């Protein structure tokens, strides 16, 4: 999970529902993968 350290929204769990938090984890993982491929 250390590779998600750059995502501020994931430092603290603001969402009340676990489904929303997991959705943000998926979005963050997709963005990190996209940035790595773009470079």
What average pLDDT does the segment 3-10 reach?
63
Residues 19-39 have pLDDT tens digits of 988 888 888 889 889 988 988
What average pLDDT does the segment 4-32 reach?
78
Burial letters for 17-32: b for 16+ Cβ neighbours within 10 Å, e otherwise? eeeeeeebeeebeeee
- For the chain, the structural domain boundaries read 1-38
pTM for the model: 0.66
């Amino acid at each position: 999970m250390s590779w998600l350290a750059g995502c501020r929204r994931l430092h603290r769990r603001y969402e009340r529902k676990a489904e929303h938090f997991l959705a943000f984890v998926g979005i963050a993982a997709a963005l990190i993968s996209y940035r790595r491929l773009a470079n």
